[in-house]
Structure 1
Amino acid sequence: MKRIVVIGGGHAGIEAAYIAARMGLDTTLLTMNLDQIGQMSCNPSIGGVGKGHMVRELDALGGAMGRLIDATGIHFRILNESRGLAVRGPRAQADKVKYRIAARRLLEGTPRLKLRQGTAAALLWEAGTRGLRGVELLDGSILPCEAVVVTSGTFLNGRILIGERRLEAGRAGEPASTHLAEQLRALGLRNRRLKTGTSPRLARASIDFTRLQVQPGDDPPRPFSFFSEGIPQPQVPCHIVHTTPATEAVVRENLGRSSLYGGHIEGVGPRYCPSIEDKFVKFPDKGHHQIFVEPESLETEEIYLAGLSTSMPPEVQLRMVRSLPGFEQAEILRPGYAIEYDSFDPLQLDRNLSVHGLEGVWFAGQINGTTGYEEAAGQGLLAGINAARWLQGREPMVLGRDQAYLGVMVDDLVTKGTDEPYRMLTARAEHRLSLACDLADARLLPVAREVGSLTPAEQARVEAKLARRERLRAQCGAAWVTQTSPFGPVAARAELRLDAGLSLSDFLRRQQLTSADADECLGRLEGWAAPQPGWDPALERDLLLFELRYAGYREREARLLEGHRAWDHVRIPADFRVEHLPGLSTEVKEKLKLHRPETLGQASRIPGITPAAVTLLHLVIDRSKAI
């Protein structure tokens, strides 16, 4: 009997445990507090540009996050909706109380998955770091297993900082984990200190919402999951407020009392989610900063101020908050804080997220230097899949950069590493025209089939939608548009001359045609608007127009991709040594030894590795195969 233990009940741990159990492995999720599974310690939201892409990819591979946010979301919006389909990003505000309950209920109802409360103290092997046999807990008990996925979040040597105060904690109200961190360092793993932070929570009744800008959600809300039938929770608006000169004055007067600027923080913070102190110091010419006022739950009266992350003392935080319009009488229920924690250099990971040199161990989430629920969940899913496949004696499942944002993230981590908390951005993906989030189910269906991560009903649903999509594409190619055809009035309104006529596909490529024009044309096709689970006519129209109008760009991207793929398929032998290889500079040799690329494609993406060096490596590898 093969067993997996997942350490940590955050978003990475949920995905790792859920997918491993769905793949038929006996799985135990070990967490310090069963009541905090799926806790949203920071902003209670899921998705966004880049991040939302990964959630939809998770969902296409059988993950939990998309289903959980659909079941508990109270505010949904598509970001960048007026822009191209490739950079649109779904985002939803979660009811964090219901999200946590739904996550635990999902895990408790999953066959072959058990929950266990406790703190991991050490990993146990039969000999050295070979033959994993279990996880030892602080109480002395042992959870037997042959594979472990470590998803420890901010708990490894976690330290909360508020002003000059330091508290040993994994997050507010929960202890840090020190024993496991000490063992991992003793085993020779390179670690670093990183930092993240959170904003104060306020009492709803103490805020004058009439003075704030209302930010309504989409109506109707569009689900994250390809398998959801709707959004069950009542929907509520969010609000926007901006900092004032008084806010900046309070911050600047008290910079020395901030944990960050008072010299109390060692760790590096996230570049793309700076504290309010950082915003005023690093962007002095910006007149004001936008703050999102977001409800945390329908079950509580707490309000989260996204964009006001801070490590100031509580009394300074109160002055900052009360300097905002409409917040003059605001009351803080929970102050914001910064948190430092141990992460480990992801260059020590293989492409399947297993730890090099530690047999049976995978890392996922903030332990790898990332930030964000979505990044953690994506790694958790991939680590869980690969731990299960390893125990099943199957090859690892590695996503390419051209297949998914999840593949981009993992390749970035294990090839380039990170010296600051890593956040997914669409700009990181060189093939983003091929990675539109609404096509994730179609794009990743072959992978889902190979992994066996979808149920037969889920797989059939995706296949039926793709078959219908192909039939309708064929109709578009066959339908003929002339001035006297049923499509003629649309052409006339758009002032398009159709002397010789053209196919409906070519007609819809014309940029003069609006979405309403396209709807009128497509509505004439047989079966376009017929009800079907997972079929959204408006979304399908957008997908079709995207395919037709960006075809030239996508073909050019595909040609470039073919060149990249050639190197990605050339593996570098595990025992390949570069120390005495002539023709390579000392810098190239040092970087190859540090990064340990598994393919020539990975080697080519390491900063400082030239195309000439990769070509030389290719020649030497080919010669070694011929011997």
Structure 2
Amino acid sequence: MSLRKKTYEVVVVGGGHSGVEAALISNFLGASIAIVTMDKNAIARMSCNPAIGGLAKGQMVREIDVLGGVMAETADLSGLQFKTLNKSKGRAVWSPRAQVDKRLYEKNIYNKLSLSSVSIIQEEAVSVNIKHNRVKSVFLRSGEEIKCSTLIITAGTFLSGIIHIGERKILAGRMGEQRSEGITESLVSYGFFSGRLKTGTPPRLDRGSIDWKKTSVSMGDRNPTPFSYATKTFNPPNHPCHLIYSNSQTHDIIKSNLHLSPMFLGDIGGKGPRYCPSIEDKIDRFKERDSHLLHLEPEWKNSDQIYLNGFSTSLPEQAQQEALRSIPALRDTSILRPGYAIEYDFFPPSQVKSTLETKEVSGLFFAGQMNGTSGYEEAAAQGLVCGINAVKTIRGEDPLILSRDSSYIGVMIDDLITKDTLEPYRMFTSRAEYRLILRFSNTFERLLKQTKQHSLLPDKKLATLEKALELKTEARKELNKSITHTNILKGFKISQKTPAVKILKRPEVSIFDLPLKTSIKKTTLVDWLKKDLLYDLESDIKYEGYIKRHHKEIQRAIKNENQKIPQKTVFSTIPGLSKEAMEKLQHIKPENLGQASRISGVSPADISSLFIHLSK
């Protein structure tokens, strides 16, 4: 870390997962950079679940890795258990997840910052200085001004944060941590508009108070795949997690205390995450269910503090205790920290471009929960994109813009800027219409071109990815030429010599059944990557027809994406547009026809009218 200055090319407000990715990639690209954070000891803190990855999130973590981020490598170094989810389904939706030692994760991130030239300023940012629609500086609580060419705000849940535990309210950004005041008011004074969202976290339990004999053990994979392409040998620990279930008694106790829940009292104005509901929400919305699965997860190695995944709540602590003790394994449990809900300010992401730079102020970027997302991975991905594009803005270079067909990150950003964010946004595989080609295993292939174009990786890691792509291409050619004899494949009847690629299209045949000495098998690449490449090659071959159909759809969509819409377009003057379309288009200001077509309330007829107008 470098000595503190008064002027930086990039300043990042917030030291969470978004902030550290923004800072480290900006530093790698050669910019002078500072993080402003209220507590340097809380950098990269995992404030909720002690895990990285999961459904669609695992794909995003590897995308972060290929685009120069650090989350993947850090998760590999800090993991307690690794598992691929959705293995019973098609490979397009296989998603890796790691149970992580949260203390070690923070330490590993801090070590990366310590080895960089990133300055860490332990202060509170309170206002932004904007002149002539360009960011100039940020003011600290001390009155000090830090000048900057670009400013990235990644404030998480800290903007006017309020914690709710029953009727009790605590002004905080996170339990035990001061909230941030001033940034929202400063941005609103420049014409930005804000809203309120809510998220929550479950209680933390004392390990010694749990009857582990009344739980089921859940282990990770025996031979897991790492997140990062930089990881060589990979023999991670496999610490157990445990499973328990709520029951009808648990539900009755929660129902009898709903009148004390701030959500049901109307004390919380912010909308909560639809796909990560509190236990109160689950019981209220799914009345037919008499049990819900809960996971007991260690927060760090040999941790006495256990995270109860699936039991997010804002009920009073006494009600939480009573409900938990109705579960056999938790009869004598002690709560180390109660669950709580937290409400915070965010800025609807219709105010940012696909670069995540704000539309009205040059050099100002928003990332993470500022944009209404939920989750470490979503935040880290946005921070990375902001950091890259902040440096590109300073240098006057073309920005990094990720498309829906290239990455889950591209899907997320496109969703954010074209759809109304009425609740915290969480990534799922179902959000990606091209998920068959957005597999975890082919991340390097779909993003390598942009990674090279923007110089996002060190030479050694880039060489590994280039070698992997070269070998996959060679192996595909080899499979097309290879002739399999009738006596080679046991259990398969083949009447004549047949190309291996044709045999591989059979659903019951695996690429590992083929006795081929392919380039991949002979290479010096690490074993896990060889296996990954073979799996991915097999996926390409087995799903070839569907993939070709996807690519045809993508080519049609590209025509719309390439039709740019001038930023100063006045949509109310365009003949043929419905009133709703005029209002939505004027509000969101899409950058191209493709984005316009994905806005809720804009019909195909509206797009046709807009196309005619743009063609004049």
TM above 0.5, yes or no, is yes
Equivalence for 1:622: 615
- 261, 264, 278: which is aligned to 1:261? 264
- 2:264 aligns to what SS in structure 1? coil
1:615 shift after superposition: 2.1
- 1:438 aligns to what SS in structure 2? helix
Q: How does 1:395-544 map to 2 (within 5 A)?
A: 395-483=398-486, 488-490=487-489, 492-494=490-492, 496-499=493-496, 501-513=497-509, 515=510, 518-525=511-518, 528=521, 530-533=523-526, 536-544=529-537
- 515, 538, 561: which is aligned to 1:568? 561
Partners of 2:80 and 2:238 within 8 A in 1? yes
Question: Mean Cα displacement is larger for which, 609-618 or 401-410?
Answer: 609-618
Partners of 2:233 and 2:526 within 8 A in 1? no
Equivalence for 1:554: 547
Partners of 2:441 and 2:533 within 8 A in 1? no
One-letter amino acid matched to 2:122: Q
Question: Mean Cα displacement is larger for which, 267-276 or 577-586?
Answer: 577-586
Q: CA–CA distance in 2 between the matches of 1:19 and 1:265?
A: 37
Give the unaligned 5+ runs of structure 2: 1-6
Q: CA–CA distance in 1 between the matches of 2:600 and 2:351?
A: 17
Q: CA–CA distance in 2 between the matches of 1:62 and 1:249?
A: 49
Q: CA–CA distance in 1 between the matches of 2:247 and 2:270?
A: 29
1:530 shift after superposition: 4.3
Equivalence for 1:236: 239
Equivalence for 2:594: 601
One-letter amino acid matched to 2:127: A
Equivalence for 1:65: 71
Q: CA–CA distance in 2 between the matches of 1:105 and 1:133?
A: 30
Q: CA–CA distance in 1 between the matches of 2:320 and 2:49?
A: 17
Q: CA–CA distance in 1 between the matches of 2:9 and 2:108?
A: 25
> RMSD of the alignment, in Å?
1.5
Deviations, residues 192-220 of structure 1 (Å, cap 9, x unaligned) = 11000000001111111111111011112
Q: How does 1:123-272 map to 2 (within 5 A)?
A: 123-125=128-130, 127-130=131-134, 132-231=135-234, 234-272=237-275
- 1:563 aligns to what SS in structure 2? helix
Deviations, residues 416-462 of structure 1 (Å, cap 9, x unaligned) = 13110000011111111111011111110011111111011111111
Partners of 1:60 and 1:441 within 8 A in 2? yes
Partners of 1:522 and 1:528 within 8 A in 2? no
- 314, 322, 331: which is aligned to 2:334? 331
Q: CA–CA distance in 1 between the matches of 2:545 and 2:201?
A: 44
Deviations, residues 144-174 of structure 1 (Å, cap 9, x unaligned) = 2110000000000000000001111000001
Q: CA–CA distance in 1 between the matches of 2:524 and 2:416?
A: 42
- 2:422 aligns to what SS in structure 1? coil
Distance verdict in 2 for CA 1:72–1:526, change over 3 Å: closer
- 93, 98, 113: which is aligned to 1:92? 98
Percent same amino acid at aligned positions?
Answer: 39
- 5, 9, 12: which is aligned to 1:3? 9
1:466 shift after superposition: 1.3
- 340, 344, 347: which is aligned to 2:350? 347
Partners of 1:482 and 1:498 within 8 A in 2? no
One-letter amino acid matched to 2:90: G
Q: CA–CA distance in 2 between the matches of 1:153 and 1:166?
A: 19
One-letter amino acid matched to 1:497: I
Q: CA–CA distance in 2 between the matches of 1:317 and 1:535?
A: 44
Q: CA–CA distance in 2 between the matches of 1:102 and 1:534?
A: 25
Q: CA–CA distance in 1 between the matches of 2:314 and 2:393?
A: 43
Equivalence for 2:584: 591
1:529 shift after superposition: 5.0
Equivalence for 1:291: 294
1:236 shift after superposition: 0.4
Partners of 2:241 and 2:296 within 8 A in 1? yes
Q: CA–CA distance in 1 between the matches of 2:431 and 2:358?
A: 24
- 31, 35, 43: which is aligned to 1:29? 35
1:351 shift after superposition: 1.3
Q: CA–CA distance in 2 between the matches of 1:544 and 1:526?
A: 12
TM-score by length of 1: 0.95
Deviations, residues 69-91 of structure 1 (Å, cap 9, x unaligned) = 00101011000123221100000
One-letter amino acid matched to 2:463: A
Q: How does 1:7-22 map to 2 (within 5 A)?
A: 7-22=13-28
Distance verdict in 2 for CA 1:530–1:397, change over 3 Å: closer
Partners of 2:19 and 2:35 within 8 A in 1? yes
One-letter amino acid matched to 1:538: K
- 1:579 aligns to what SS in structure 2? helix
Deviations, residues 492-542 of structure 1 (Å, cap 9, x unaligned) = 513x2323x2111111111222x4xx3241454465154424753432332
Q: CA–CA distance in 1 between the matches of 2:437 and 2:138?
A: 41
Deviations, residues 329-361 of structure 1 (Å, cap 9, x unaligned) = 111111110000000111111111111212210
1:415 shift after superposition: 1.0
- 100, 104, 122: which is aligned to 1:117? 122
Equivalence for 1:610: 603
Q: CA–CA distance in 1 between the matches of 2:267 and 2:230?
A: 47
One-letter amino acid matched to 1:478: K
Partners of 2:574 and 2:610 within 8 A in 1? no
Q: CA–CA distance in 2 between the matches of 1:12 and 1:407?
A: 16
Q: CA–CA distance in 2 between the matches of 1:263 and 1:473?
A: 59
Equivalence for 2:3: none
Partners of 1:12 and 1:378 within 8 A in 2? yes
Q: CA–CA distance in 2 between the matches of 1:280 and 1:599?
A: 43
- 1:144 aligns to what SS in structure 2? strand
Q: CA–CA distance in 2 between the matches of 1:583 and 1:412?
A: 25
- 2:330 aligns to what SS in structure 1? coil
Deviations, residues 244-292 of structure 1 (Å, cap 9, x unaligned) = 1111011011111112112211110000000000000000001210101
Distance verdict in 2 for CA 1:393–1:522, change over 3 Å: farther
Partners of 1:199 and 1:305 within 8 A in 2? yes
Q: CA–CA distance in 2 between the matches of 1:70 and 1:14?
A: 17
Give the unaligned 5+ runs of structure 1: none
Distance verdict in 2 for CA 1:614–1:136, change over 3 Å: same
1:591 shift after superposition: 1.2
Q: CA–CA distance in 1 between the matches of 2:520 and 2:303?
A: 45
1:612 shift after superposition: 2.3
One-letter amino acid matched to 1:381: L
Partners of 2:36 and 2:122 within 8 A in 1? yes
Question: Mean Cα displacement is larger for which, 525-534 or 459-468?
Answer: 525-534
- 1:145 aligns to what SS in structure 2? strand
Equivalence for 2:306: 303
1:230 shift after superposition: 3.7
One-letter amino acid matched to 2:488: P
- 2:109 aligns to what SS in structure 1? helix
One-letter amino acid matched to 1:386: N
Q: CA–CA distance in 1 between the matches of 2:359 and 2:538?
A: 45
Q: CA–CA distance in 2 between the matches of 1:301 and 1:414?
A: 42
Q: CA–CA distance in 2 between the matches of 1:88 and 1:54?
A: 12
- 1:101 aligns to what SS in structure 2? helix
Q: How does 1:379-398 map to 2 (within 5 A)?
A: 379-398=382-401
